Amino acid sequence: MHEMSIVASVLNIAEKEARSADAQVIRTIEIEVGQLAGVEIPALEFGFEVARRGTLAGEAELIIHDIPGLGHCRECNKNVAIDSYIPICPTCGELVPEVLQGKELRVRSIIVD
């Protein structure tokens, strides 16, 4: 389950940030997960529940921002929503070569005390 390794690196980043800010507790971790990033949100949430124990984020809230898939269709010459790993334009059915967003996987902010 690669969500566990994602959680581990998110916690790692959060703890480093907290230590460099001389914080005792991590209150909130906000992350962005693109719908095309290949990440199962429930698995991520479950992994966080387990992995945060014993860390500075033991009581932290995990806020996940879902970033919808968006691509640019050359055929239609406009930006279109993409909801699958194979980027197909919902209007014309052509393959969309440029995926503009939806592959994000990053820590947006960390709130510490």
The least CB distance from residue 70 to Zn ion, in Å, is 13
In three-state form (DSSP H/G/I as H, E/B as E, the rest C), the secondary structure along the chain is: CHHHHHHHHHHHHHHHHHHHCCCCCEEEEEEEEECCCCCCHHHHHHHHHHHCCCCCCCCCEEEEEEECEEEEECCCCEEEEECCCCCECCCCCCECCEEEECCCEEEEEEEEC
Query: Contacts with Zn ion in 77-96 (CB under 5 A)?
Result: 89, 91-92
Tell me how many residues contact Zn ion (CB under 5 A).
Answer: 6
Which of 38, 97 has the CB closer to Zn ion?
97
Which of 56, 89 has the CB closer to Zn ion?
89
Q: Is 76 near Zn ion (CB under 5 A)?
A: yes
